[in-house]
Chain A
Amino acid sequence: MDRLKSEFVATVSHELRTPMTAIKGYVDILTMGAAGPLNENQVHFLDVVRNNIERLNILVSDLLDISRIESGRIILEQQPVNLHDIAEEVVAETLRRSQTENKPIALSLESQRNLPLVIGDNGRVRQILSNLVNNAYNYTPENGTIRVNIHQDAERGEVQVDVEDNGIGIRPDDQARLFDRFFRGEHPLVLATPGTGLGLPIVRQLVEMHKGRIWMKSTGVPGEGSIFSFTLPVYKNGE
């Protein structure tokens, strides 16, 4: 049954992506001015169409991901992974986004010296960290701060990553539902940000597939932000 469901979602996703490519592509061409000059209203309306296509695109990708995870069709390609290198790429990507969107954010990365490698699937570990840093970026107003901190928990044989921001935070009532599928908060910044409420459930499943742990802390007070933390097991020679 799970396999049928997964195949159904894969087929629907494929069928949706082709018309989405056409809509997005032609909107981009119009916006570039490649088909003639546009007035201010036309540019704005095309932006609205593009943002909604982006929402649809995230939804399709997330549905495909969660369906594949839940039916056991994602197989991790486990190998030694350097978390610092991945975090550097994710931070650099977010800084580029901050420049493109003209939204200044102070983003820093601190790693413990001689950090051990962890065992994981490089692409999926990147997806986990990228999702958490993107959330921090999305829900932190401009001129805010995001800190990524990576350190070893030698006692547990894990490396821990903390993504801390000083954004809108998460109300205590919402925290228990945060990892539920399709749950989204009601803060205006959440409502204004394209999302499906599937990102964190996917992240949690991926962390657990890696035999790691994930949790969060927030006072719920805007400006005090939140800290999302996850761990991955340290790579041992011969694994």
Chain B
Amino acid sequence: MARILIAEDEPDIRELVAFTLRFAGHEVITTSNGEEALQQAGALIPDLILMDVRMPRMTGYDACRAIKADPALTDIPIVFLSAKGQDAEIQTGLDAGAEEYLLKPFAPDQLVERVRAILGKFGK
């Protein structure tokens, strides 16, 4: 079981991801924008962060860059969950320091499997 932080401004998607990961046995904390995600990442030191790209107050890209620039948080893997599927956008996410870019729509079992693989890769 891992502690996973979700940053997603769409309530239906946030609840879907949270339900799926809780069902898979993880502890889940949710936030609805990049700024809150940055604060919660510092306060809770999650094992993994799942983040939307387009969010109010601070985009996922900016939040990811800020987290990766903080030595205390830089080792936390970040996965973008986004509908933005163009090559340049995916590259921007990876350049910002994300571990992976999961394109919407994703299936819950696919999400659980990717989360398991990434946690395994980081020994969590």
New A-B contacts (19) at CB < 8 Å, excluding given A18-B104, A25-B105, A26-B12 = A13-B83, A14-B83, A17-B83, A17-B105, A18-B10, A18-B13, A21-B105, A21-B106, A22-B13, A23-B105, A25-B16, A25-B20, A25-B107, A25-B108, A32-B109, A34-B19, A34-B23, A61-B85, A68-B86
Nearest residue (CB) in A for B81 is: A21
Q: Determine if B3 is an interface residue (Cβ-Cβ < 8 Å).
A: no
Q: How far is the CB of A59 from chain B (nearest CB, A)?
A: 13
Given A21-B13, A22-B10, A22-B13, A29 and B104 touching (CB < 8 A)? Answer: no
User: When chains A and B are docked, how far (Å) is the Cα of A57 from the Cα of B109?
Assistant: 17
A contacts with B: majority SS: helix
Query: Which single member of B83, B84, B104, B108 contacts A32 (CB below 8 Å)?
Result: B108
Residues of B within 8 A of A (CB): 10, 12-13, 16-17, 19-20, 23, 83-86, 103-109
Assuming the contacts A18-B13, A21-B16, A25-B13, asked whether A10 and B86 have C-beta atoms less than 8 A apart, the reply is yes
Q: Report which of A21, A28, A34, A68 forms a contact with B104, defined as CB distance below 8 A.
A: A21
Q: Which A residues touch B20, using CB under 8 A?
A: 25, 29
CB-CB < 8 A to A28: which residues of B? Answer: 107-109
Give CA–CA (A32, B19) in the complex, Å: 13
Q: Please state if B23 and A22 are interface contacts (CB–CB under 8 Å).
A: no
When the two chains form the complex, which single residue of A14, A17, A24 contacts B107, counting CB atoms closer than 8 Å? Answer: A24
B52 → chain A closest CB, angstroms: 9
Q: How far is the CA of A26 from the CA of B83 in the complex (A)?
A: 17
Query: Which A residues are within 8 Å of any B CB, using their own CB?
Result: 10, 13-15, 17-18, 20-26, 28-29, 32, 34, 53, 57, 61, 64, 68
29 A-B pairs, CB-CB below 8 angstroms?
Answer: A10-B86, A14-B84, A17-B83, A17-B105, A18-B83, A18-B104, A20-B104, A20-B105, A21-B13, A21-B104, A21-B105, A22-B10, A22-B12, A22-B13, A22-B16, A24-B105, A25-B16, A25-B105, A25-B106, A26-B12, A28-B107, A28-B108, A28-B109, A29-B23, A34-B19, A53-B105, A57-B105, A61-B85, A64-B86
Q: Is the Cβ of B23 less than 8 Å from the Cβ of A64?
A: no
Which residue of chain B has the shortest Cβ distance to A75 in the bound complex?
B87
Q: How far is the CA of A14 from the CA of B103 in the complex (A)?
A: 10
Q: Which residue of B lies closest to A28 (CB)?
A: B108
Q: In whole angstroms, how far apart are the Cα atoms of A82 and B10 in the complex?
A: 42
How far in angstroms is the closest Cβ of chain A from B49? 18
Please, which residues of chain B bring their CB within 8 A of the CB of A23?
105
Q: Would you call A64 and B85 a contact (CB within 8 A)?
A: yes
Cα of A68 to Cα of B105 in the assembled complex, Å: 20
Q: Are B16 and A29 in contact, CB atoms less than 8 angstroms apart?
A: yes
Residues of A within 8 A of B85 (CB): 13, 17, 61, 64
CB nearest to A35 among chain B residues:
B19
Contacts of A53 in B (CB 8 A): 105
Name the residue of chain B whose CB is nearest to the CB of A56. Answer: B105
Across the A-B interface, the 7 shortest Cβ-Cβ residue pairs? A17-B83, A21-B105, A21-B104, A25-B16, A22-B12, A20-B105, A17-B104
- In whole Å, how far is B103's beta carbon from the nearest beta carbon of chain A? 8
